[in-house]
């Protein structure tokens, strides 16, 4: 085979070198572009993370401000309104001792009853406002205490149980308040309509699912019974909290089950 002339060899080698140079240049450009894109995305992620941190910080500051305001209102109510109600009650008791007219004493008794109801309502609001009560343990303790105080003047005996409850599990103020109002309405209905002599409060926790069961051994609710405002209200409250309310009518007595999902951060 004839050897290629030296000029062709030189041209061939030069062409290969030029091609290799261009390939290397293209690879270099691609690598630099990818590096620049990577740096851009990292910088963008860093800015987004910084922005999210700023938003989180603002939200934490907002929540702290709200909690401080709640505490301030709670203290003001306790100091001012609480003292005023206590003074009103003392004055009414003093007037009752001096009053001789039966009608006047009856009016004063109504005044004392109203002041006591106002005092109880104020205590409930103070409990609701106190962010230190935003745990399942605090809610259950207060719920049982309320039920016991409400029923001790009636013929209905109270039983309570807590199953797998983690006391420090957080519960939002809004959910805590609505669950308590549902409990109040249910106990009041049992007292007025059930003709029961026993009522049981049961609290269950399974992960982030919390259930409250209120059952009595009364006459129950007829399947043809039309729901009143009270039952409609507790169902509405639970729906607003993305929870459930089931009124069980099978068997003796009445059983009401409240079920909700807690926002627990892992």
Reported as a single tens digit per residue, the pLDDT across 9-42 is 777 777 788 888 888 888 888 888 888 888 888 8
Q: pLDDT (tens digit, 9 = 90+) per residue, 101-125?
A: 777 777 777 777 777 777 777 777 7
CA distance linking residue 24 with residue 7, whole number of Å: 25
CA distance linking residue 262 with residue 219, whole number of Å: 33
**So what's the pLDDT on residue 1?**
44
Query: Do the beta carbons of residue 156 and residue 230 sit within 8 Å?
Result: no
Phi, psi of 34 (to 5 degrees): -65, -40
CA distance linking residue 28 with residue 165, whole number of Å: 62
Domain 134-266 sits in CATH 3.30.565.10: yes
Q: Is 156 exposed, middle or buried (0-12, 13-18, 19+ CB in 10 A)?
A: buried
**So what's the pLDDT on residue 148?**
92
- For residue 76, give the nearest of 119, 124, 126, 114 by alpha carbon: 126
């Amino acid at each position: 085979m004839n050897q290629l002339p030296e000029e062709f060899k030189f041209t061939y080698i030069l062409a290969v070198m030029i091609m290799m140079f261009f390939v290397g240049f293209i690879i270099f450009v691609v690598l630099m572009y990818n590096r620049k894109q990577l740096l851009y995305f990292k910088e963008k992620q860093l800015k987004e993370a910084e922005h999210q941190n700023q938003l989180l910080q603002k939200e934490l500051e907002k929540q702290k401000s709200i909690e401080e305001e709640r505490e301030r209102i709670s203290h003001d109510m306790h100091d001012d309104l609480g003292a005023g109600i206590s003074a009103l009650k003392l004055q009414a008791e003093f007037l009752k001792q001096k009053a001789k007219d039966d009608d006047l004493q009856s009016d004063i008794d109504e005044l004392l009853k109203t002041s006591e109801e106002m005092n109880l309502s104020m205590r409930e609001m103070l409990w609701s406002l106190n962010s230190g009560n935003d745990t399942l343990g605090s809610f259950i303790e207060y719920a049982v205490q309320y039920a016991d105080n409400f029923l001790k003047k009636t013929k209905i005996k109270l039983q309570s149980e807590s199953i797998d409850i983690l006391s420090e599990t957080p519960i939002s103020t809004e959910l805590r308040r609505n669950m308590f109002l549902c409990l109040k309405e249910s106990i009041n209905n049992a007292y007025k309509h059930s003709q029961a002599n026993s009522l049981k409060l049961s609290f269950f926790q399974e992960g982030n699912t919390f259930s409250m069961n209120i059952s009595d051994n009364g006459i129950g609710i007829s399947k043809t019974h039309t729901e009143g405002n009270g039952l409609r209200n507790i169902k509405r409250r639970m729906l607003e909290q993305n929870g459930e309310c089931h009124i069980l009518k099978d068997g003796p007595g009445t059983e009401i089950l409240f079920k909700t999902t807690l926002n627990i951060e892992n």
